Amino acid sequence: MAIPLMYNVRNLTVRRTATLMTAGGIGLVVAILILTLALAHGFRATLVATGREDNVLLIRAGSNAEVQSGIDRAAASVIETDPGVLQVAGGMPLVDRESVVLTNLTRRGGGSSNIVVRGVNERVLELRPDVRIVQGRFYRPGTDEIIVGEPIARRFVGCGLGDHLRFGARDFDVVGIFSADGGGFESEVWGDAETLMPLFDRRSYSSLTVRLADPAGFESMKKRLESDPRLRVDVYRERAYYDAQSTGVATVIRVVGVFLVIVMATGAVFGALNTMYAAVGARTREIGTMLALGFTPREIQMSFMAESVLLCLVGGVLGCILALPIHGMSTGTTNWQTFSEVAFQFRITPQILVIGLAASLVLGLIGGYFPARNAARRTISEALREG
């Protein structure tokens, strides 16, 4: 028969201060773990949410990112006539020819960052239905009007509705604010490609985005276009492209986070060990009594392990509660793979909370194992005499 769990619960509540302090230490570790995971996940989720499975992105072969790429008009026309491209009313291919440049804007509250200015065509909303105008209206093609992603409008100077942004030697009016369901396009400024390109001295497009007529037709389209000697392009599924852009920064966040958490967790385990050793030490006589009552050493070991796990789980729950308010908080950083700003939110998912709780469980097991083994090794006579 196992020793009732209630025995451990009672013990923890009797030593209230020690319990709360140890659990507090564990809780802070768990909170930091959750925060870094939420940061990495938020960053990644933003970029993954940027692409669609049935959209295809084309950039110049070997260029890796849109900013470095160039596709000239002749090549663009060849790509548009590919049989794999979806045709909409009137036999028009669903294609957006885009130009991507970076512009350095000032953050509200100091500092600056590079923002993507994307020249698009009128087909873009059909191609990217996630993008919605939330304030104002869409730009009028051929005019000096632009629209700005929500987080950029909020975080950067001169990007609010009715403000002006200066590109080259011309002022552009911000006539609309758009959202993209949390995707990376929200971190951009959009305008008419044909107006913006001469201004930035761009003669070729940066990329082409096309809708697949048949989502399964990707591989054959990729083979066809990449082997076409007139083109020299790399063909990606839009989602895979943006996912790949996120790996660098997300990995850095995760590596730094894991380093922090491992070091902090080591410190916290020492604390948990101390508490549990003290718990065992203070209850030597009780251990003797339990042995005398007929509980086996194994049951006593299990009981102390359970107590340690329980203690650390309290910490884990505490950590989750501490970390939760940060969910949804928005922040931004420069994605080094594209050299441009990405606005994103801390995102705490159920999985991340489970990982946090699991980590506290592991801490409990490690912190409890040695003291519990110590407890189980006592003999009745020794334990009763010592106490």
Partner 1 sequence: MRFLPFILRNALRSKRRTVLTILSIVVSLFLFCTLRTVITSLDASLRMTDTTRLVVRRSTSLTFFMPLSYKDRLAQIPGVEAVSWSDWFGGVYIDERHFFPQFAVDPKGYIPMYPEYDIEPPGAPDTFQRERTACIVGEKLAKRYGFRVGQQITLKGQIFPGTWDFTVRGIAHSHSPDLDTNFMLINWDYLNQRTGNLGVVGVYVVKISDPSRAGEIAKTIDATFANSPAETKTETEKAFQLGFITMLGNIQTVIVAIGTVIVIAIILVSMNTMMMAARERTREIAILKALGFTNRAVLGLVLAESLLISLAGGVLGTGLARTVFSLTDFNAGGFFSSFIVTWGTVARAIAIAAFLGLVSGVVPAWNAARLKVVDALRHAG
Contacts of 336 (CB under 8 A, 6+ apart): 248, 249
Nearer to partner 1, 281 or 325 (CB): 281
323: contact with partner 1 by CB under 8 A: no
Q: How far apart are CB 153 and partner 1 at their closest, in Å? A: 18
22: contact with partner 1 by CB under 8 A: yes
Contacts of 38 (CB under 8 A, 6+ apart): 323, 326, 327, 346, 347, 348, 349, 352
Q: What SS3 class is residue 317?
A: helix
Question: Using CB under 8 A, which of 3, 29, 37, 40 touches partner 1?
Answer: 29
Strands 145-149 and 170-179: parallel
326: contact with partner 1 by CB under 8 A: no
Cβ contact 150:111 at 8 Å: no
Both tokens of residue 366? 């490690």
Question: Using CB under 8 A, which of 7, 18, 173, 369 touches partner 1?
Answer: 18
Q: Looking only at residues 38 through 77 of this chain, which bind partner 1 when binding is defined by CB under 8 A?
A: 60-65, 67-68
Q: Looking only at residues 89 through 148 of this chain, which bind partner 1 when binding is defined by CB under 8 A?
A: 101-104, 107, 110-114
Nearer to partner 1, 114 or 179 (CB): 114
270: contact with partner 1 by CB under 8 A: yes
Residue 8 to residue 158: CA distance in whole angstroms: 60
In 205-358, the DSSP E strands lie at 207-211, 233-237, 330-335, 340-345
Nearer to partner 1, 55 or 207 (CB): 207
Residue 170 to residue 226: CA distance in whole angstroms: 38
What is the Cβ-side half-sphere exposure of residue 173, based on CA atoms within 13 angstroms? 12
Question: Using CB under 8 A, which of 13, 16, 129, 201 touches partner 1?
Answer: 201
Contacts of 234 (CB under 8 A, 6+ apart): 58, 59, 60, 61, 62, 63, 226
280: contact with partner 1 by CB under 8 A: no
Stretch that binds partner 1, among 90-98, 126-134, 181-189, 272-280 (CB under 8 A): 272-280
Q: By the criterion CB under 8 A, which residues form the site for partner 1?
A: 17-18, 21-22, 24-25, 28-29, 31-32, 60-65, 67-68, 101-104, 107, 110-114, 167-169, 200-201, 260, 263-264, 266-268, 270-271, 273-275, 277-278, 281-282, 331-334, 339, 341
